[in-house]
Amino acid sequence: MNAPALSIQNLKINYGAIEAVKGIDLCVPQSQIVALLGANGAGKTSTLRAISGLVPSSGGSIVFNGQDITKMDAEKIAARGIAQAPEGRQIFGDLTVEENLRIGAYTVRKRHVMEKNFARCYYYFPRLAERKKQISYTLSGGELQMLAIARALMAAPKLLLLDEPSLGLAPLIVRDIFHIIADIKREGDTVLLVEQNALQTLKIADYAYVMETGQIKMEGAAAELIHDKRLVEAYLGAH
3-state secondary structure the chain: CCCEEEEEEEEEEEECCEEEEEEEEEEEECCCEEEEECCCCCCHHHHHHHHCCCCCCCEEEEEECCEECCCCCHHHHHHCCEEEECCCCCCCCCCEHHHHHHHHCCCCCCHHHHHHHHHHHHHHCHHHHHCCCCEHHHCCHHHHHHHHHHHHHCCCCCEEEEECCCCCCCHHHHHHHHHHHHHHHHCCCCEEEEECCHHHHHHHCCEEEEEECCEEEEEEEHHHHCCCHHHHHHHHCCC
Specify the higher pLDDT residue, 41 or 207: 207
Q: Would the pLDDT of 164 be above 80?
A: yes
Residue 9's pLDDT band (cuts 50, 70, 90): very high
CB 212 within 8 A of CB 18: no
Quick one: average pLDDT of 222-236?
82
Check residue 239 and give its pLDDT. 41
Report the C-alpha gap between 44 and 213 in whole angstroms.
Answer: 9
Report the C-alpha gap between 38 and 53 in whole angstroms.
Answer: 22
Quick one: average pLDDT of 29-50?
94
Report the C-alpha gap between 41 and 46 in whole angstroms.
Answer: 9
Check residue 89 and give its pLDDT. 72
Residue 23's pLDDT band (cuts 50, 70, 90): very high
Q: Would the pLDDT of 88 be above 80?
A: no
CB 85 within 8 A of CB 163: yes
Check residue 1 and give its pLDDT. 59
Which range, 45-49, 168-172, 173-177, is most confident?
45-49
**Whether pTM exceeds 0.85:** yes
CB 121 within 8 A of CB 83: no
Q: Would the pLDDT of 2 be above 80?
A: no
State residue 117 phi and psi, 5-degree precision.
-70, -40
Residue 235's pLDDT band (cuts 50, 70, 90): low
CB atoms within 10 A of CB 169: 19
Report how far apart, in Å, the C-alpha atoms of 143 and of each of 136, 137, 169 are. 9, 10, 10
Check residue 144 and give its pLDDT. 93
Quick one: average pLDDT of 18-43?
95
Residue 236's pLDDT band (cuts 50, 70, 90): low
State residue 145 phi and psi, 5-degree precision.
-65, -40
Check residue 112 and give its pLDDT. 86
Residue 136, CA atoms < 13 Å, CB-side half-sphere: 19
Cα angle, residue 148 at apex, residues 81 and 190 outer, rounded to 5°:
35
**Which one-letter amino acid corresponds to residue 123?**
Y
